[in-house]
Amino acid sequence: MENSLLLPEKKQKNSRFGVRRQIAIVLGLTIGFLHSFSSPYTAEASFFKGQSKSIDDDAQVNTAKSSTAETKADQTSEPDSQATPVSKGSGNKNMPYADEAVKHYNHGVELHQAGFLNQAVGEYKEAIAADNRMEEAFSNLGIIYAAQHNYPKAKEAFEEALRLSPNRPTTLNGLGTVIYAQDQIPQAMEKWKEALAADPKFASAYYNMGNAYEGQKNYDQAKASYLQAIGVMPNMADAYFRLGNILSKEHHLPQSELLLNKAIELSPDGEFVREAKHSLNIIESRFEKNKVKSPPPRKKQ
C-alpha cells in the first residue's frame, strides 16, 4: 500500500460524502487506512534512515538529509517526490536538516504510527522549531489535523508544506482531501489532478477522485477512476470494494461478486468487509431467485 493516513470515515448516505471508505490522503505513514480520513491512504510519517526504527512496509521514506543520516526513496511502494530542504534565506537546497529536528521528527513518526496523535503533534512542532524547513513535519501535522477534523489547521499545515516542496504528491493529495471535506469539490479535484501530474502512478489520488465522482452519482467516471487506482496499485482493496458496489447497483452481479470477493481477499480485516459480505449475500439471494424463475430445460423429443 502506498503510505497514507486515512482520514476519519464519513458514511455517505444522501450526500456526496456517502462513500463508505474515506478519501485516501496518502501522505506517508500508515495508520489504519492511513489511505484517507481515519484511513486518507496516509500519515506522511516516514523515518530518516539511521534514526529510530525502520518504517512499516506501507510507509514511504521521504528523501531528506540530516547531518548524520541520508535517506533514499523507498521504491517498494509508490514513489514519493523528494523532500528538498532549503536553508533559511541561503537558497542552499542541499543543506542538511538540523540533528535536533530529525530526532524530534522520527520520534513523532513513531508516536504517529502508534496512534498517539497529540504527542506526535508535539514532536512535529519541536522538529519545526528546530528547523522550519522540514516540510515532512508540516505534512504530517496536516494529516493529523485532518484526522481530527480540524480542517483549517490541516489546510494551513499542508499549504506550508507545499510552500517548501510544491510538487510533493502526498501533500497535494492531502490538501485535496481537506478541501473536499469542506465541500469544495472542484478545487479538491484540481489538487488531486496536480498530485497525478507530479506522479501519474499515485493511486490514492485516483481513488479520491473516484470517491468524489461516486458521491456525485457520476458512476462512469467513478468506475474509470477506481480502475486507474487498481491499475497502478493492484492490491488496493478499497478500490475493488467501491467498484464492486457500483457494479452491483448497475445489476452486473457476476462482476460485482468477483470484485467484492477480491476486496475481502486482499483485506480480510478491512473496515468495509462487513458491508461487502452483506452485499455478497444480497447478490447470492438474487442468483437464487433467478434460478427459481428460470424454466427447466426442455426434454429432447
The candidate with the shortest Cα–Cα distance to 8, out of 144, 159, 121, is 144
The per-residue pLDDT of the chain, averaged, comes to 75
Is the pLDDT at 36 greater than 60? The verdict is no
pLDDT of residue 288: 78
- CA–CA separation, 252 and 68 (whole Å): 57
Q: Tell which wins on pLDDT, 250 or 292.
A: 250
pLDDT in tens, 275-297: 999 999 999 988 777 766 666 66
Q: 56: which residues sit within 8 A by CB, 6+ positions away?
A: 3, 29, 30, 113
Are the CB atoms for 60 and 73 separated by under 8 Å?
Answer: yes
CATH superfamily, domain 1-201, is Tetratricopeptide repeat domain (1.25.40.10)
Mean pLDDT for the stretch of residues 59-65: 30
pLDDT in tens, 196-224: 999 999 999 999 999 999 999 999 999 99
User: What's the DSSP call for residue 71?
Assistant: -
Mean pLDDT for the stretch of residues 92-104: 85
Is the pLDDT at 14 greater than 70? The verdict is no
Whether the full predicted model's pTM is greater than 0.85, yes or no, is no
Is the pLDDT at 77 greater than 60? The verdict is no
Q: Tell which wins on pLDDT, 58 or 280.
A: 280
Mean pLDDT for the stretch of residues 13-41: 34
- CA–CA separation, 35 and 236 (whole Å): 10
Are the CB atoms for 42 and 36 separated by under 8 Å?
Answer: yes
What confidence category does residue 40 fall into, taking pLDDT thresholds of 50, 70 and 90? very low
Give me the residue spans of the domains in the chain. Answer: 1-201
Name the grid cell of 272. Answer: 468495509
Q: What are phi and psi of 73, to 5 degrees?
A: -60, 135
pLDDT of residue 192: 97
The candidate with the shortest Cα–Cα distance to 74, out of 49, 92, 51, is 49
Q: How many CB atoms lie within 10 A of CB 70?
A: 13
Are the CB atoms for 108 and 140 separated by under 8 Å?
Answer: yes
Question: Which residue matches cell numbers 528523501?
Answer: 63
Name the grid cell of 45. Answer: 510519517
Is the pLDDT at 26 greater than 70? The verdict is no
Is the pLDDT at 48 greater than 60? The verdict is no
Mean pLDDT for the stretch of residues 126-134: 96
pLDDT of residue 294: 60
Q: At 46, which amino acid appears?
A: S
